[in-house]
Every structure is written in C-alpha cells, then in structure tokens.
Structure 1
Amino acid sequence: MQQAVLRHFPEVQAVYRFKHRDEGVFFTRRCFNLFVESVKRASPKLPIYLPNDTRNSYAQLISYPDFHELTISLDERDWLAGACPFFSPEYLDYLSSYRFKPSQVKATFNAKPGDDNLGRIEIEARGPWVETILWEVPLMACLSEIYFTTVDTDWSYDGQVEQAYEKAKTFLGADCMFSEFGTRRRRSFHAQDLVVSTLVRASKELAEKGKFMGTSNVHLAWKHQVLPIGTIAHEWYMAIGALKGYEHVNGVALDIWENVYPNSLLLALTDTFSTEAFYKDFVSDKARAERWKGLRQDSGDPMIYAPRAKEIYESLGIDWREKTIIFSDSLNVEKVLKLRKQCEELGFKVTFGIGTSFTNDFHSTSSGGNQKSKALNMVIKLAEVDGKPCVKISDELTKTGLLSAVVTAFAVESYQWLQEDSADASAKLLSQVSQQLASFNFAEGFKNLTIQYPSANFSPDPNDVKINMLWILSLTFSLMSTFFAIAVQQWLRRIPLPEATDDHFSVAAAGSGGSRALPCWAAAITAIPKS
C-alpha cells in the first residue's frame, strides 16, 4: 500500500494507535522497557530457541540492528523488482532510501492500580502517512516476541515443525491454495521462520494437489524463495473515507487503487464499512466488478459470504466461477476445510490467508500441552489522517460497538458547543476590565466611582442544543440495538435449527414444517454475522 500512498497521498499526515483487546492480560514494566529500547535504540537481546531447545536453555542471544538502520540491499531490491513487477522503479528508489524514524513512535506504560509492575501499554505512531504506514507490522511483531520471552514463558517450540507440516499436509490434501499471513501476531521471528520453511518443504514433498502460495513476510519470502503475498487493507478505505467523504467511499477507494495497480492486486476487501455497504458501490459499476479478480472476507460469518457474493455477481450478469474469494479471518484447519468445500460446490475459486493459526499456535507446557497458550489479541489501526478521525465498522456484530464509539466522539465534540468558548469569555472579561478602567475617577473623599457594567450570561444556540440531543439519541439507540442483537443471537444459538440449505437466508422457510419453526424476525437475525 505504501506505493499507492506515495503516488496519491504523499503529503497526508497520519496517526496510528495500538489497542490490546484482552482487558485481563497485562504487560510487565520490564516488557515495556525492552519494547521501548527496541524501538528507540537497538533491539534488546532476546532469547532465540532452536527446535530442540527447552524453555530453560537459551541457544543463543542476538541483537537486531537499530530500526533506523534497517534498509534493503541491492540484491534484495533486484529480487523484489522481479517478484513484484507491479512496483515501479520510482517506488523502489523511494523504498531503498526509506528509513524508520523512531521519533515518530510514542509508547506509554499505564500501571495497574495497586501493582506498579503490571499495566497496559499505549502506542502511537505519528507522521507522514507514507512513512508511518510501515510501523504497524514490526511494532506488533516486536511487542509479541518480547512479551512471550519475558512475561508468558510457559511454552516451547516442541512439536511446532510437526504441527505446521500436518496442517500443510491437510490443506494440500484437500486441494487448498493458501498463504502464510502471520507476521503481526507471531510468537517470534523464529516461530514464523520455522513455519514458512516447513510449509515450503511440505509443498515440495506433497505437490500432487493444492498449493502453498507464499508469505506476507517479504524477508522470509526472499529467504525461502517464495512469492511475497499481500492484499489491500482496511486502512486504505478508512483513510479515503476520511479524506474524500463517505458517499461512495468503497467505489472511490477501488478506483484510486486500480489507478496504481491496473493489472494486479485486484482483490477487494469488502468489510471496512460492512460488506452490504460495499456491495452498493460494487454493483453500480459492472465493468469495474468484471475487472477486479475477486473479493476478500475478513470478518463476520464466513459461511454466508460466498453465497451472498454469488448473488451479487449473478445480479450483474458476471460469471462468478471466474472470480476468487480469499478468506483471512481467524482461520483454522476445520474452518478452511468447510469453506473449501462450500466454495467448490458453489463454483468459486478460493484461497486462504492464514495467520495466527500458523505462527502463534502454542500450548502451555505446565498443562502438558492440554491448554492453549493464547496469542496477544492486539491491533494497530489508522486513527487519523490530516486531523480527521478514521473509522471501521466491519461485519462482526461485536465490533459494531465501534459505531457507538464513533457517535460518542462526535457527541463529545458537539457538547462543547453548549459551553461558552474560553477565548470569547476572556475577550468579554478583558473588555469589561477596560471599560471599568476607562470610567475610573476620583470625587471628594477619593471614593471610587467606577461604573459597574452588567455581565451577559452565555446562552447556547438553540440549533446546537438540538444537534446535541440528536447525537445523544443516536448513541442511545446504537447501544440499545447492539445489545438487543447480541442478546437475541445468544438466545438463537441455544435453539436447534433446521439443517442449512444452499441459501443461508431461507432457514425459516426450511423449518416452517416443523414444530420448532422460527418466527420471521428471528430468522432475519440469524442472518446477522456471528462473532
């Protein structure tokens, strides 16, 4: 995406912010200090384990170079030009001269009440969008590796190679096309390197069906001589919405992207502002829908995605069997096999971008391998461009609370309209003082006879009051609707439903002959994407 930003938005300023979603998981102060050191100076020495290591023996200690010293070599540039022919010479020149600027990153440790050693971390990257766009992945990968070598150390690499090989064997045996997308939340660089090397080996040894497409980690793609794989991301739509407006934002984002990549990377991410909102723009331009090679699903219920995509292509008179769907949301072996079977039956080409399931699938050693050692549930999202807030809705019902957050932001801003502006108040006060000084005089007995000027009370504009009332009502209804939808979904999951048909929206009709048929309103809510 950096090339697209460089071409169309080179002057735009951006802010990225980190969020750790697990409220009950805390970082230690040592973990935080090592993270700050790794960003601001040289990376700290971290334990690197070879496959036969145990958690109690360090194989070696290494120190990575400073962030600001990282650059690509001439050999790497030549390889990148061949592997990614859609990169222009101008962009490769820019990338060769690019250097990380640690001063753009600010990190804060907020101690847990009652325990100064534990707390939560805030991270912010601020600067030109074309520069800060590259901070997200290394910051998350760095924090994850430090956390799992200093805080949660109840795990080992034992069985990781065998596990990755078995997954590859299953996917290849099911004729799946898949890529490794696990850099951001990987357990460590070593873990990801083990996985990619194992996937490459498995694809060579089990080459009858399926295909390992490549990895999103460009360095590992170069190291293991596989394709670097990437797609358009949410922040592209988010930034364009903030910069250009939200009317037809999906269509505008697709057009600008296609201007940069007219013959490649044309797989559209659909869920930034919900997939149904995306389809409204998508169906308005049949020629564009034909040019784009397919769609990417990244939130919501994946089992309703392909049937709905087929309906959209059919409504446009486009042969969906020529299109590709890529699934990339929290995939595991079971989910991949189900989606592969469904897409095969529907006629779609399908591929899978698998992340955490490859690079951070570990179990705790203290449980004898019976309990998961969970990955950090963290994200770094684009928060602002040129001072304008960025938003993302997605197809995940539990994430629709973001709408409430957005409304809250506007409500907080508009609430200030009900209060007198501090500059105006100061100006009035200074004016009153000036008038009193001008009227100052002495009479007999030197008594102060200054004139008293009444002060005017501030009163907000009636329109501002009405706007604030509407924002508060919007926030109230947003929270109520989200709560209601979640509550009903939880209730519906306890009711045995009739077996799904090819049409995932006809469950009520399918069950109408039985004694447990659902009312139409309940059937409608089953179509809401599940968390």
Structure 2
Amino acid sequence: MVDIAARVYNHKWQIDPIIRSLIDTDFYKLLMCQSVFRNRPQTEVVFSLINRSNHIPLAKLIDECELREQLDHIRSLSLSRGESTWLRGNMFYGKRQMFRSDFMEWFENLRLPPYHLERKGDQYELTFEGKWHEVMLWEIPALAVLMELRSRAVLNDMRRFELQVLYARAMTRVWEKIEQLRDIDGLGIADFGTRRRHSFLWQDWCVQAMIEGLGSAFSGTSNCLIAMRREVEAIGTNAHELPMVYSALADTDAELAQAPYDVLRDWHDEHDGNLRIILPDTYGTQGFLDRAPDWLAGWTGIRVDSGDPAAAAETAINWWKSRGEDPREKRVIFSDGLDVDKIRELHGQFAGRTNISFGWGTLLTNDFRGLVPDDALAPFSLVCKAVAANGRPTVKLSDNPEKAMGPADEIERYKRVFGVGAQPAIEVIV
C-alpha cells in the first residue's frame, strides 16, 4: 500500500502526474463515447469548466504553468496494450466485447484535442472544442487535475508529520463511514468519486478500503483504471451530456420535446440489462416520466441525481405502477451528494419496495472537511459541461434549480417545452 503522506511530501509532478492513463476516467464516459462515435460522429461541441463554488479562487491557488503541464501531459497519453486488451476482452455487465472493434481502433489511436486556457480574475476559463466523441473525453481528467492541483496547493506547505496525521485522520474517517454501512442488510454501493476526488492515490485507497470493509456489498468503481488494477467491476451507464447535446441539435420545439427519448432509443439499440438505466432529471423527472413512451417502462431502472432523492424515487415507483410494472423488480440508483446518513435513510425507506443501490462520490473520495485550518480542503462543486453543440447553446434544468445551466432565455424556453414549473431549491454541496 502506497504511503500517501510520504508521496505528497516528496512530490515531484514528473514522477507523479495526476492523470496516468486515458482510462483514468469514468466507465459511463467510454460507453457514451462509443454511442456518440456511432450515432453523432460529426457533431461539434464546446465543453467548458464551471466553478459553481466561485468563492474558491482557483486561479490564485493553482499555478497556470503547472496546470498547463498537467493538461499537456494528458494530451501525450494513449492507450497501452494492456488497457486496450482489458477493454476489448473483459466482461462488463455480463457481456464480452462491450466495445466494438471500430470504436476500439479509433480509441487506440486517439490523442486528446487541444484546449484553451485563460485566466479571468480569480478563476480559469478552460474550454475544449471539436468533434463530440473526442472532446467529451476531456471532462473527467480536466476536473480531476483541477481538484488535485487545488489539494496540492493546500498541502504544499505542510510538513511531514502534519501530512502523516492529516491522512491518518482522513483514513480513520473513511473507515468509520464504512463501519457504519456494514450492518445494512442487502446494501449495494459503488465508488462514483473520480471527477471530484482528492487525488488518484486517495481514490485508489478508498476503493481498497471499500473492498476490504464491505466485501460483496461493494459492487465496484466508476474509475476504469482502478477497476482494471484492483480487479473489480467497472460501473456506469449514461449521463446528462447525451440529452443536453441531442436537445441542442433540435430544430423545433416538437423535436426538442422528443430529443431526450431519441437519446434512449439509440441507447436501447446498443445495450440491455443493467445498462438500461434511465437518467430522467435533465429537464425534470416528473414531466419526463409522464411523457415517456411505454417501452421505457420496461427498462431496468432509473438513476436519481438531483432534487429530493426520496421524492424522485417515489415518483419512479408510482410511474412503474401506472405502466403495469412491478417496482420490486426495478432498480433505483441514488448518486447525488451522498454520505452515510443519507445512504442509511434512503435504504431504510426503500428497501423491499424496489431494488436500490448507491453511487457514492465526492464525500467518499474527497471528504477532508474540518481537517485543515480554514477548512481549506473542503470539497467544492466544480463541473465541466457541454455548453454548445453545432453552435447552439445547451441547457440543463435538473430537479434542482441551483443546478440549472444555460442562457436565461433558453432556460425559459426549455421550461415551457418540458412543462417545468416552480422547483424547490436545494443547496449544492458537491
């Protein structure tokens, strides 16, 4: 096991780059990339960094030259032979050859496209432009780089024993959380913490702790590199990016209203079983389900990623019942801002009523709250989103207006088209 504190103390970026591999990313990103490669290969997109926690002055904390070094290093990466063999030959979700040969041939020759970085006051403007299936692979590594560089900036002046004590306390915190989850009968939980992790080494340590502490209750990790190295399941399906871009490409209000279902029709043609998970909240869960075609009710489950998680699960259960489906045979995956208390609460509320599982993210892999002065390592909300497609702005509404993004006039148009009324605001922690 790596001595993380010693590694941080002796840190030199040349021997410890933040991103070590193109598969140091979330599994759903690769699944979506293959879908885009197949269905929308000519779409041009722009991804942009968005710091929702603008009280964190990233440009003051992170040296621009160091950030560029890290980003340039990512552009030098390509798949290794072992990584390619794993993707081509491993079994994912019970299926071999999940990734088609034409996609793999393209991926094996990929170098990520250029980036644009500019300082704007105390923040960085970081954007990526180009073909959708190429640019989208910047999202996760860009976020991981910025999160870890922020951590390094805070840790830089700490001495050896300070670092040893800090990581000992953080490890104790993670282990105590794991101990609080052990007695939950039928628990199923995965690591979803790549994008806003404290560091790669820390995420890897957290996964090892989950493996030892939770045994079969730990279902795997979203991080492909860690899944490969630790021989656990790679977990993930799809994300808001797909309906956001499909919707931006719509020419009329009628096509816009249909776009989120077009996404899932393409997905339906490619995947089955536990990969048929609906993410219904991009433009409001209730309206999405009310207008959903009957064939979607036959899908395996839904993922809850914004708003009140219990309310969203109740909405899904009622929808399945209204479509003649048995909720006890369906799956609800909770994945928004989870920590131990919320996991226990939701499990107690829905166990037996539907199959539930949890994607535990930032508060697993980056919970250093209260461990350094001024709470300078507290997690914060940083995202990298598709903001334009073929020159048109993208929009996300979600079930929480605090997570809405896009031009104000387009947000109002989308609310009208998708019938989204007043929504309760919920504080965005991560």
Q: How many Å separate the matches in 1 of 2:278 and 2:371?
A: 41
| Aligned partner (choices 369, 377, 380) of residue 376 of structure 1 | 380
**Do the aligned residues in 2 keep the contact of 1:200 with 1:224 (CA within 8 Å)?**
no
| Match in the other structure for 1:38 | 70
Give CA deviations for 1:304-357 in whole Å, capped at 9, x if unaligned: 122211111111111111000001000010001111111115x10001001101
| Match in the other structure for 1:92 | 104
**Do the aligned residues in 2 keep the contact of 1:83 with 1:228 (CA within 8 Å)?**
no
| Aligned partner (choices 308, 322, 331) of residue 338 of structure 2 | 331
Distance 1:372 1:169, change over 3 A: farther
| Aligned partner (choices 62, 72, 77) of residue 79 of structure 2 | 72
**Do the aligned residues in 2 keep the contact of 1:301 with 1:529 (CA within 8 Å)?**
no
**Do the aligned residues in 1 keep the contact of 2:277 with 2:300 (CA within 8 Å)?**
yes
| Aligned partner (choices 356, 359, 366) of residue 353 of structure 1 | 359
| Match in the other structure for 2:26 | none
**3-state DSSP of counterpart to 1:158:** helix
| Match in the other structure for 1:500 | none
How many residues end up aligned between the 2 structures?
A: 375
| AA matched with 2:409 | V
Q: Of the two structures, which has the highest relative contact order with CA contacts closer than 8 Å and spacing of 6 or more?
A: 2
1:233 aligns with 2:233: no
Q: How many Å separate the matches in 1 of 2:372 and 2:204?
A: 25
Q: What is the correspondence of 1:461-480 to structure 2 with a 5 Å cutoff?
A: none
1:186 aligns with 2:212: no
Q: What value does the CA root-mean-square deviation take over the aligned residues?
A: 2.6
**3-state DSSP of counterpart to 1:22:** coil
**Do the aligned residues in 2 keep the contact of 1:250 with 1:281 (CA within 8 Å)?**
no
**Do the aligned residues in 1 keep the contact of 2:320 with 2:327 (CA within 8 Å)?**
yes
| AA matched with 1:161 | M
Q: How many Å separate the matches in 2 of 1:126 and 1:307?
A: 39
Distance 1:29 1:397, change over 3 A: closer
How far is the alpha carbon of 1:142 from its aligned partner?
Answer: 0.5
**Do the aligned residues in 2 keep the contact of 1:164 with 1:199 (CA within 8 Å)?**
no
Q: How many Å separate the matches in 2 of 1:219 and 1:193?
A: 10
| Match in the other structure for 1:433 | none
Q: How many Å separate the matches in 1 of 2:271 and 2:56?
A: 41
| AA matched with 1:397 | P
| AA matched with 1:230 | G
**3-state DSSP of counterpart to 2:99:** coil
How far is the alpha carbon of 1:11 from its aligned partner?
Answer: 1.2
Q: What is the correspondence of 1:112-511 to structure 2 with a 5 Å cutoff?
A: 119-151=122-154, 156-175=166-185, 176-204=187-215, 207=216, 211-244=217-250, 245-282=255-292, 284-285=293-294, 287-290=295-298, 292-345=299-352, 347-367=353-373, 373-400=377-404, 402=405, 405-407=407-409
| Match in the other structure for 1:430 | none
1:14 aligns with 2:22: no
Larger Rg: 1
**3-state DSSP of counterpart to 2:69:** helix
Q: How many Å separate the matches in 2 of 1:148 and 1:529?
A: 29
**Do the aligned residues in 1 keep the contact of 2:154 with 2:376 (CA within 8 Å)?**
no
Q: How many Å separate the matches in 2 of 1:96 and 1:366?
A: 42
* Structure 1: tracts of 5 or more residues without a match: 41-65, 112-118, 411-470, 486-524
Relative to the length of structure 1, the TM-score reads 0.66
How far is the alpha carbon of 1:247 from its aligned partner?
Answer: 1.8
How far is the alpha carbon of 1:530 from its aligned partner?
Answer: 4.1
Relative to the length of structure 2, the TM-score reads 0.81
**Do the aligned residues in 2 keep the contact of 1:324 with 1:349 (CA within 8 Å)?**
yes
How far is the alpha carbon of 1:93 from its aligned partner?
Answer: 2.1
Q: How many Å separate the matches in 2 of 1:529 and 1:302?
A: 13
Give CA deviations for 1:453-503 in whole Å, capped at 9, x if unaligned: xxxxxxxxxxxxxxxxxx9xx99x9xxx99xx6xxxxxxxxxxxxxxxxxx
How far is the alpha carbon of 1:388 from its aligned partner?
Answer: 1.5
How far is the alpha carbon of 1:408 from its aligned partner?
Answer: 6.8
Q: How many Å separate the matches in 2 of 1:406 and 1:246?
A: 17
Q: How many Å separate the matches in 1 of 2:76 and 2:372?
A: 40
**Do the aligned residues in 2 keep the contact of 1:251 with 1:281 (CA within 8 Å)?**
no
Distance 1:331 1:365, change over 3 A: closer
| AA matched with 1:198 | A
Q: How many Å separate the matches in 1 of 2:372 and 2:39?
A: 52
Is 330-339 or 301-310 further displaced after alignment?
301-310
Is 375-384 or 160-169 further displaced after alignment?
160-169
How far is the alpha carbon of 1:29 from its aligned partner?
Answer: 6.7
Q: What percent identity do the matched residue pairs reach?
A: 30
How far is the alpha carbon of 1:264 from its aligned partner?
Answer: 4.8
Q: How many Å separate the matches in 2 of 1:304 and 1:408?
A: 27
**3-state DSSP of counterpart to 1:183:** coil
How far is the alpha carbon of 1:409 from its aligned partner?
Answer: 8.5
